[in-house]
Structure formats: structure tokens, C-alpha cells
Amino acid sequence: MEPLIAVTMGDPTGIGPEIIVKTFSEPDFTERNRAVVVGDAVILERAAKLLGLSLRVNLVSGPEEGRYEPGMVDVIPASDLAEDLPFGKLDARAGAAAFEYVRRAIELAMNGSVAAVATAPLNKEAMHLGGHKYPGHTEILAELTGTEDYAMMLVAEDLRVIHVSTHVALREAIERATPERELAVIRLAHAALKKLGVEEPRIAVAGLNPHAGENSLFGTEDAEKIRPAVERARDEGLKASGPHPPDTVFSQARMGRFDIVVVQYHDQGHIPIKLLGFETGVNVTVGLPFFRTSVDHGTAFDIAGTGEADHSSMKTALDLARELSQATEKERS
């Protein structure tokens, strides 16, 4: 039997509901997946109607009540929103609801009711309006699970990256590039790739400065903070190398020299991933007690309610959540 995945609906005024109903309406969806949505039945029904889909909504109080049948989406209700909630608009009600979907899904994963969580996009500004001042999904997940060492991994086509820091100002990102954090992320990268079936992960660490500092001509952080962490990882038996010049390391990874690149800050990792696979990229939070995958795009308010949203990333996120859950179960047995 396939592992059970909780899917959060994301911001109700964005494209989350649309990409979810499109995904669940795929003819072979239930052959490959067992998934329950944590969200709002009225909003999902609205999305299905908008798209002309005959998807039925089955309300359940918990995953154990799900029917997981073709042409049906099982929903654990975690909000009570009006059908006329506007599309593509910042709304405190939507932001509060999006947070509640994530909180409830975490609760299900922590008590073992689901094996993993896949998330549709939320809007940070709307969530803040709703009273929840988090930078994003990753920080919510870390706080509510009590996780200290965690990282964001992005996967697209033939490239994987994992971040030392994400949603912080560039100045703070530089400060966060400590030897301890660098080593922690290298270890997280190694563990995650082992679960994905990579026997001996080859981990490249990107430099922080141009040309990885050029022997400290362009900054000393690479020599003083990053290189010691790489050397310690190698002493532990990990196949880590670097710091590598950031302008060439991604090409080398795509050519097969490395299995993953440790990147130093948000844009250093997000730009190459979104260039390669904007529609199919997947975000994975590693280091949690369970795996969380997510679409690697936002709420797309500009096209919400038009039916134009591409659900490829949602499908890929569910596939990866299933794959990681199966690997974890196999490891335990």
C-alpha cells in the first residue's frame, strides 16, 4: 500500500486549490497516490467547478476515514470560508487559514497519521495579516516540530541544491555562513540523498564570494568559514568538496560531477533551479521528523481563478513525497 500523504491547500485565494483539484483529477492519480487534503471543502468545490471537473469532495475528520477513490478528493476541513472569497487578493482570512492547514498537517505527521506532507503555496504577506509572523513554510515546520538543524532542498531536472540560509536579508545570510551551519547542511544533504538512493553522495559546496574568494582577494569567508567545514565533513567520511566558484559549480553538477550543491543563500540556489524547472521544481524540507515537499512557486495571484495554473510541480511534489516516505519505511524495516 502506498504511504499516506497530507496535502495542504495553501492560500485559498491563490492557485493552490486549482492545482490540487487538477492533480487529484488525473486518471491514474489513485493508482500511484494515497493523499488527503487539509483545507476547505467549499473552496475546493469552487475550484473544481471553475475548471469543469467532476471531482467529488469527501469530508473526513481524519485520514483513517478517507476513501481514496478515483474522481474523489478526501478533505480534512481546517477552515470555514465563504465561496465568494476573492481570487488573487491579499486577505487576512485566507492567510490565517493557510497557516492552519500547515499546522494541522504537521500534527497529523507528528502523530503518525500520515507519512509526509506536501504543501501548496501560501502567501507570506497574507499569513502575516492573519496574525502569523513567519518568513515561510520552512520556519513554521521547524518551530512546530522543535527542529533545530533543517534546510531547504530544491530539486529540478538534473540539479539539486540545499541552502545554508533562505528567507533572510543578504547581510544576515553572510553572518549565518558559519562553519557549524555549513557542516550541518552538508550532513543534511548527505542524509537526504542517501534516502533518495544515492549510495555515496558527492556534495559540492558553493562559495559565498565571487570565485569562492580567489584566495581571499574577494573576501575571507570562503577560506575562514566554508573550507574548514568541508574539511571536517571529509574527515567524517563524507564526499564533500569546495568551496567551488558559484558561477561554475551548477554546470558541473548538471554534467554529473556532483549529486548536490550546498548553496549559501536564497537566490544563489533558487535562480538556477527556477531557470531549469520553474513549472516542475520541488522544494523539500530536510531534517524534520518527516519529509515535507512543496511546489517551488508562489500563489500566482495574477492568474488565480483563471484556470491557467500548471499543476506539474504539485504532481512532482507528491511523487517525491511518496518516494521519500517509501525509502524511510524501507530503512526502518
Q: Where are the domains of the chain?
A: 1-147+290-333, 148-287
Task: Classify residue 96 by its DSSP letter.
Answer: H
Using a pLDDT cut of 90, give the percent of the chain over it: 82
pLDDT grade for 326, boundaries at 50, 70 and 90:
confident
Residue corresponding to grid cell 533562505 = 166
Contact 135, 172 (CB under 8 A): no
- The β-bridge relationship of strands 282-286 and 291-295 is antiparallel
pLDDT grade for 213, boundaries at 50, 70 and 90:
confident
Residue corresponding to grid cell 551548477 = 250
Residue corresponding to grid cell 582577494 = 217
Residue corresponding to grid cell 489513485 = 30
Across the range 244-262, mean pLDDT stands at: 97
pLDDT at 308: 95
Alpha-carbon span 210 to 93, nearest angstrom: 44
pLDDT at 165: 94
pLDDT grade for 282, boundaries at 50, 70 and 90:
confident
Using a pLDDT cut of 70, give the percent of the chain over it: 98
Tell me the pLDDT of the chain averaged across its residues: 94
Tell me the CATH number for domain 1-147+290-333.
Answer: 3.40.718.10
Strand stretches in the chain, DSSP E: 4-8, 34-39, 56-59, 72-77, 116-119, 151-156, 159-163, 202-206, 239-244, 260-263, 282-286, 291-295
Please report, as a single letter, which amino acid is at residue 326.
Q
pLDDT at 100: 98
Residue corresponding to grid cell 521544481 = 281
Alpha-carbon span 191 to 153, nearest angstrom: 12
Across the range 206-230, mean pLDDT stands at: 92
pLDDT grade for 329, boundaries at 50, 70 and 90:
confident
* Residue 50 in this model has a pLDDT that exceeds 70: yes
* Residue 278 in this model has a pLDDT that exceeds 70: no
Task: Classify residue 237 by its DSSP letter.
Answer: T
pLDDT at 333: 61
pLDDT at 11: 97
pLDDT at 277: 72
pLDDT at 331: 67
Provide the Cα torsion 201, 206, 211, 217; round to 10°: -120
pLDDT at 182: 98
Alpha-carbon span 72 to 237, nearest angstrom: 48
Alpha-carbon span 63 to 260, nearest angstrom: 34
* Residue 317 in this model has a pLDDT that exceeds 80: yes
* Model pLDDT for residues 146-185, shown as the tens digit of each residue: 999 999 999 987 899 999 999 899 999 999 999 999 999 9
Which among 88, 132, 117, 121 is positioned nearest to 11, based on CA atoms? 121
Across the range 300-316, mean pLDDT stands at: 94
pLDDT grade for 119, boundaries at 50, 70 and 90:
very high
CATH top-level class for 148-287? Answer: alpha beta
Identical fold, 1-147+290-333 and 148-287: yes
> Which residues, other chains included, contact 146 with Cβ-Cβ below 8 Å and sequence gap of 6+?
none
